[in-house]
Amino acid sequence: MTLLLMGANPCVTLFDGGLPVAYASVWRVDWSVRGSGSALVLAEPGRVRIIGPDPDLGRWLGAEFNRHIRLEGEIPWSEPESTTAPVDFRLDLATGFTAAADDVEVAITGPIERYLTRKDDYDLGGVPHLLSTVWIPCRAGSIAVGGAPLPGAARVDEAAPMSSAFIADAEVWCTADHPRK
C-alpha cells in the first residue's frame, strides 16, 4: 500500500425534486503526496469549480478523488475552473462545519452519529483504494454562491442513519502499488 492523503473532507450534495443539483467537497489536507493545504470543489450541472490557495493541489484532489466519487443521479464531471483563493475551513465535531472560499459558502450541521469506517476496495477510476475515515452523517447542509443559497436540500435518513451532508475526518486514502487485475 502507498499512503496518499491524510486529512478531512466534509461534503454535501443538494437534491431538488429527487435530482442532485449541487455538490460541495471541502478538503483539509494535513499531509499528502502532493503537499498539504485546503481546497473547495463545487459541482453543478455543467460547471465544476475548484477553489484554493494551491491550484496544483486543488486540481489533484479534483482529478484523483472528486471526479470518481459518484452518487445516485450523479452530477457529471466537467473540466474544472480554477480559482486561487484562501479557504476558511472551520470544523467542530460536536456541531458541524462551515467553509468559505471566494464567493462560495458551505455549511454542514447537526451531526447524527459518528462511525469509524473502512473500505478496502473503494474504486477511483478503476484503481482500488483503501479509505478509512471517521464518518459523521449530518441533518442539514447548504451551499451559497455570491450570498444566494443554491436550491435543494441534503437527503437525510436519520433511521439508517445516512445523509448526503456529512463530515469525514481523520480520512486516510491509500492505494495498492499495482493496478487491479
pLDDT in tens, 44-98: 999 999 999 999 999 999 999 999 986 556 788 999 999 999 999 999 999 999 9
Confidence category of residue 18, pLDDT binned at 50, 70, 90? confident
**pTM of the complete model:** 0.94
Identify the sign of the CA torsion 108, 57, 36, 33.
Answer: positive
Choose between 18 and 29: higher pLDDT.
29
Q: Cα–Cα–Cα angle for 92, 59, 96, nearest 5°?
A: 10
pLDDT of residue 74: 79
